[in-house]
Structure 1
Amino acid sequence: MDGFEIDTVLLLFSFGLVLNSSYTASCSFGNGNRISVSSCTMIHDDEGSVPSVIASDECLSLLQWPISTTASLRNRTIECQFAQLKGRRKYQEDRITCDLDMNMPSLGKNDLKEVRLGIAAVFDGHGGSEASEMASHLLLNYFHLHYVSKMYKLMVQQYKGELTMAESKSLLLQVLKELLLSTIHDIDVKFTQVALENNHICGSTATIILMFDRQILVANVGDSKAFLFSDKIQSAMLSAIELAKDHHPDRDDERARIEAAGGSVIVWGVPRVNGVLAMSRSIGDIYLKRYGVIAVPELTGWQPLTTADRYLMVATDGIFESLTANDVRDLILEWNSHDIQGSSSSLAEYIVNTAYDKGGTDNLSVILIPL
């Protein structure tokens, strides 16, 4: 491939970023920005993390997205139903993020095309809201930066003939999985830096549903929840399928890692790492990382959605202080049959209000996605 063709690829890729108006505030053309695209990718390759990319002038001049830890919830589509209550706690430490209409640049057979991705996530903070606040806001920005860097390299490979269209398509699901892992890692790295500078001792769960092409992937850190509610065959009932495993310190594999790192599992009401933290994986909690607490998520495989699937739910564990998964299933059936009374304006709000009325004391947060 000659220099002109390489420049054409970079220009097309920049154009793809401009089309993605949900994220790109501004981006001009010209040799300078074409160099910035490749420079930004090289910085990503050399440094290996999104924080290093964001810190570079080359990338900031090209990718001018608002990176802030104080922005409010992104709820970009009507498909994202959400509700939150402080509950009976003094502070609201839960945070949520949802965008089911992320139009991302990808390479078609002869030109650029867009693919649609969706992300729904809850972050249950403890010991303060700093970790959940930062994680909820950085999630989409960091994921997008990772996606841009990886897709740019795949596009160049395809134009050079090093990667066929079929190979590129088959790689995408694996790439998205890897990008989600990298995103969570970089959020934890960034928060660790901030926590050390500001003496934060807080942490957060992270439960994330990634949606693409009628398939879902779930990543979980901690003990927030994800469920799929589906029609039962030859029945008016719904089944509740749990999509994420809790990370409690007394789980055999979690306990083994903690003890191997020199930590201990002590029961103080519930099993806790060193008698302090009631989960064995989290974002933050920097003073327990040396004792085996990690921010590495467990990921499911890609699961296709079917015509029987009705709702996806991601929620903090406060909901399940007073409700079971079958209780939530019954609330969905009640709502859809209109056999309810009260002031709830949405099904998500109805679930949160019911959990509170039945005695929930923790912060309460739900994102519900009708399918």
Structure 2
Amino acid sequence: MGICISSASSQIRHETNGVGSIFEEDYKSYSVCGIQKLESICSKQGSKGLNQDAAFSYQEFGGVEESDLVGVFDGHGQNGHIVSNIVKNRLPSLLLGQITAKSSLMQSKSFDKWKEAFETSFKVMDKEIKLQENLDCSCSGSTAVVLVKQGDNLVIGNLGDSRAVMGRMRDDGIEAVQLTTDLKPGLASEGERIRSCKGRVLALKEEAHIQRVWLPNEDAPGLAMSRAFGDFALKDYGIIAIPDVSFRRLTSHDRFIVLATDGIWDVLSNDQVASIVWAAESEEAAAKAVVEAAAEAWKRYPSSKHDDCTAVCHFLQTHNATE
């Protein structure tokens, strides 16, 4: 089954079934950004080559109790695995720097301030990627979906087509609530922005259901998302690294949040994922079960290359699958 990360050990457990290098370095339980919850992350390499996914999960983000930071990143292109890991390692510090600069932000309920903090951090992150020496990111990049939870306040920044889904308790069981919009060129507002910047949006005949972004006068690179870190060949033609930032006030009915790359959502519905998580006894078991279910679902498409599958499960309160 892929990589499951546990904070019980500082070493990653590598298995021998072709899993890529999503988390190659040694980890400690603590970092400058908070307490790392590695056990809530699970990933499995697909059949396209290196695993280009990355993820993080922190408790006590910025040293503040009841403050959590969670994110997933899906790389694409020749150097996508490098981009996603750069973002995973650097973005928490950039967000923390914005929070520190705005000393009251960790206790703030001002959405505008949080939106500015996310947008500034993502902008700096994209610039740092561009300035990397000996790294060609003209046609390589990464998605991102990142959440900060402070008490009952939830702020999410989304870039691309990874997704955040919440499980909410109803009288008849668990309900899946999608928290982010998949930012793809087929979305009317995204396509309009790209075309206004002279980028082209069209689908290939052999995959008519997938809208892609192309250069004005060249049939390349064919990016299947409308926002991303990197992809600098398209940055003048409508691809942006500005996240879609949203705010939500959590309630007692909200039980968990799943952040996952599109390798999960391409083969499992929001409701399926919510049901899998709700049946699990822990964040670790939930993340593993979601990834296993997606890997099994990909087998129904033998002619397709299976995508990398990564999920982070974050319980909002004490979890009781028998409730």
Q: What TM-score comes out, normalization by structure 2 length?
A: 0.76
- Among 348, 352, 356, the alignment partner of 2:291 is 352
Please report how far the alpha carbon of residue 70 of structure 1 lies from its aligned counterpart in structure 2 after TM superposition.
7.7
Please report how far the alpha carbon of residue 315 of structure 1 lies from its aligned counterpart in structure 2 after TM superposition.
0.4
Please report how far the alpha carbon of residue 345 of structure 1 lies from its aligned counterpart in structure 2 after TM superposition.
6.3
- Among 195, 199, 215, the alignment partner of 2:153 is 215
1:130 aligns with 2:66: no
In structure 2, relative to structure 1, the CA distance for the partners of 1:100 and 1:257 (3 Å cut) is same
1:299 aligns with 2:235: no
Give me the whole-angstrom Cα distance separating, in 2, the residues matched to 1:137 and 1:230.
Answer: 31
Give the superposed CA RMSD: 2.7
Note the alpha carbon deviations across 1:174-233, whole angstroms, 9 max, x for none.
4333212211111011111227x532331000101111122111111000010110111x
Give me the whole-angstrom Cα distance separating, in 2, the residues matched to 1:264 and 1:100.
Answer: 42
Whichever structure has more strand as a proportion of its residues is 2
Q: How does 1:9-24 map to 2 (within 5 A)?
A: none
Residues 83 and 349, structure 1, Cα contact 8 Å, conserved in 2: yes
In structure 1, what is the equivalent of residue 14 of structure 2? none
Amino acid across the alignment from 1:133: N
In structure 2, what is the equivalent of residue 199 of structure 1? 136
Give me the whole-angstrom Cα distance separating, in 2, the residues matched to 1:74 and 1:285.
Answer: 32
Residues 212 and 223, structure 2, Cα contact 8 Å, conserved in 1: yes
Note the alpha carbon deviations across 1:17-64, whole angstroms, 9 max, x for none.
xxxxxxxxxxxxxxxxxxxxxxxxxxxxxxxxxxxxxxxxxxxxxxxx
Please report how far the alpha carbon of residue 74 of structure 1 lies from its aligned counterpart in structure 2 after TM superposition.
7.6
In structure 2, what is the equivalent of residue 85 of structure 1? 44
Residues 73 and 96, structure 1, Cα contact 8 Å, conserved in 2: no
How many residue pairs match? The answer is: 270
How many percent identity over aligned positions? 24
- Among 83, 95, 99, the alignment partner of 1:143 is 95
In structure 2, relative to structure 1, the CA distance for the partners of 1:175 and 1:272 (3 Å cut) is same
1:366 aligns with 2:322: no
Give me the whole-angstrom Cα distance separating, in 1, the residues matched to 2:230 and 2:240.
Answer: 9
Q: How does 1:222-237 map to 2 (within 5 A)?
A: 222-232=160-170, 234-235=171-172, 237=173
Amino acid across the alignment from 2:249: P
Whichever structure has more helix as a proportion of its residues is 1
In structure 2, what is the equivalent of residue 186 of structure 1? 124
Amino acid across the alignment from 2:100: V
Structure 1 residues not aligned, in runs of 5+? 1-68, 105-113, 156-167, 339-343
Give me the whole-angstrom Cα distance separating, in 1, the residues matched to 2:184 and 2:37.
Answer: 34
Note the alpha carbon deviations across 1:137-164, whole angstroms, 9 max, x for none.
111111122222222xx69xxxxxxxxx
In structure 1, what is the equivalent of residue 228 of structure 2? 282
In structure 2, relative to structure 1, the CA distance for the partners of 1:345 and 1:306 (3 Å cut) is closer
Give me the whole-angstrom Cα distance separating, in 2, the residues matched to 1:84 and 1:248.
Answer: 23
Give me the whole-angstrom Cα distance separating, in 2, the residues matched to 1:286 and 1:72.
Answer: 31
Give me the whole-angstrom Cα distance separating, in 1, the residues matched to 2:39 and 2:58.
Answer: 7
Moved over 6 A (4+): none
Residues 69 and 146, structure 2, Cα contact 8 Å, conserved in 1: yes
Give me the whole-angstrom Cα distance separating, in 1, the residues matched to 2:237 and 2:132.
Answer: 20
Give me the whole-angstrom Cα distance separating, in 2, the residues matched to 1:307 and 1:278.
Answer: 37
In structure 2, what is the equivalent of residue 256 of structure 1? 192
1:271 aligns with 2:211: yes
In structure 2, relative to structure 1, the CA distance for the partners of 1:327 and 1:133 (3 Å cut) is same
Give me the whole-angstrom Cα distance separating, in 2, the residues matched to 1:74 and 1:243.
Answer: 30
Residues 80 and 99, structure 1, Cα contact 8 Å, conserved in 2: no
Structure with larger Rg: 1
In structure 2, relative to structure 1, the CA distance for the partners of 1:77 and 1:203 (3 Å cut) is closer
Amino acid across the alignment from 1:273: V
Q: What TM-score comes out, normalization by structure 1 length?
A: 0.67
Amino acid across the alignment from 2:136: N
